Chain A
Amino acid sequence: MFRDTLALCRKDLRVEWMTRITSLQVVPFAVVIVVLFGFALGPDPKQLRPAAPGVFWLAVLFSCILGVQRSMSVEMSDGAIDGLRLAGFDPAGIFLGKLLALVGELVGLEVLLSILTAVIFGVTLASFWLLVAATLLATVGLVAVGLLYGVLLASSRVRETLLPLLFFPVISPVLIAGTKVWQAALDRHVSTGIGWLELLGVFGAIYVAIGIVSFGPLLEDA
């Protein structure tokens, strides 16, 4: 499984390197979201500062759905998903490999986005380790849910529109917890953030476990 995980991760990152979809399309999309929210909220720092964590996580959420759709469309193109099944890759390895690659891409985007959010919304990024932990755990949870729904809807003709509809309600705990941890970190109330951090950890662990167990059967029906 570990070997297949690495193979899938390496392949997905190579595809991204060749196409630059994340860097040339998803990153600018996320930047536009943050900037537009900044415009919508106006120049008043009293309105901008409290909104910063929510805006950051909404931008991450929308970017994540694009990333998941892209990750699955690569497998649906020209029957590659059948190739994966015929090559005998471990389904859990496929899930974990795609998870790692997408988490890696999104974490890169989140670093850029957090700096941009800090600049536009006038906040100071404090409690650094709390921000990093929250970002990592939340991203793992988001991507795990996204990949599960992505493979579930892989054979559906309406997957592009149905995926956000199913994805957003399920990941609302991540949005809430991620925002709360960021608020706690920015306000330097670390103890408040720990509880939400635990929620993110549990959410991520549950969905990664579900993905490892159920990706195989879902892949068979894709």
Chain B
Amino acid sequence: MSQAIELCRAVAFAGSFPLLAGVDLSIGSGEVVLIEGANGAGKTSLLRVLAGLIPVATGSIQVLGYDLLVERRSVRTEVGLVGHQSFLYEDLTAHENLQFWMRRPAVQVIEAALERVGITGRIARTPVARLSTGQRRRAVLALLVARSPRLWLLDEPHAGLDTEGRELLDGLITEAQRSGATVLISSHEIDHVSSFATRTVSMSGGRINSSDGGNSTEDVHDVS
């Protein structure tokens, strides 16, 4: 299995505040990895570093074959990040948002992605500001579906989703993994996510504490 992510003593800062304090982590392509840890452990920062949004100050970092010390921008278009923020324009509809973020792809691509996550009809044509938290979350997931990134970085992805939405998300993760994508999930819902994660990584104080093997890749395929 080739390596999707390789960090060696990676240190990152926000101003003078340390976000990552020497992270060593290696994740293979096609893995589904649960990142757990208390609030402030560095989970969100790790995902943002992997997305190329936060620079690494020292150490080394390779993501999807890109050396993020020298080409941080290149990796971004191959990464799908679902964070605490939606990245959506509230005054535009879900349809218009996808059109913009996808740079005007074929209408069928957008409609298929929105339909896949259950955003159809009037809801797809309603400004995002008027959608519920769960519907916004689904709109963000539609963007992932449409983009099919090679690396999925999901920060508390189940938050705000109803039962149906959670099942939909689990299905999408499984589909992504089947298609060869690597998935990192930062979550406090350890029991739920660890049931289909291939590995669990524990963080505290901006460092990796432990990395335990979980389900095999084949087990993950059975989740949906």
- Chain A residues with CB under 8 Å of chain B are 3-4, 7, 11, 14-15, 18-19, 74, 77-80, 82-83, 85-88
* Residues of B within 8 A of A (CB-CB), count: 24
A18 and B103 contact, CB distance less than 8 A = no
Bound: A24/B178 CA distance, A: 50
- Chain B residues with CB under 8 Å of chain A are 51-53, 73, 76-77, 79, 81, 83-92, 96, 100-101, 103-104, 127
Chain A residue nearest to B86 (CB atoms) is A78
Residues in A whose Cβ lies below 8 Å from that of B86: 78-79
Bound: A80/B96 CA distance, A: 14
Shortest C-beta distance, A1 to chain B (Å), equals: 13
B92 and A82 contact, CB distance less than 8 A = no
Contact with A87, one of B89, B101, B104 (Cβ below 8 angstroms): B101
Shortest C-beta distance, B78 to chain A (Å), equals: 9
Give 19 new A-B contacts, CB below 8 A, not counting A74-B89, A78-B90, A83-B88. A3-B103, A11-B92, A11-B100, A14-B96, A15-B91, A15-B92, A74-B91, A78-B85, A78-B88, A79-B83, A79-B85, A80-B87, A80-B88, A82-B85, A85-B52, A85-B73, A85-B76, A86-B51, A86-B76
Shortest C-beta distance, A216 to chain B (Å), equals: 9
Shortest C-beta distance, B131 to chain A (Å), equals: 12
B91 and A19 contact, CB distance less than 8 A = yes
Residues in B whose Cβ lies below 8 Å from that of A7: 100, 103-104
A18 and B104 contact, CB distance less than 8 A = no
Shortest C-beta distance, B163 to chain A (Å), equals: 25
Residues in A whose Cβ lies below 8 Å from that of B51: 86
Shortest C-beta distance, B224 to chain A (Å), equals: 27
Residues in A whose Cβ lies below 8 Å from that of B85: 78-79, 82
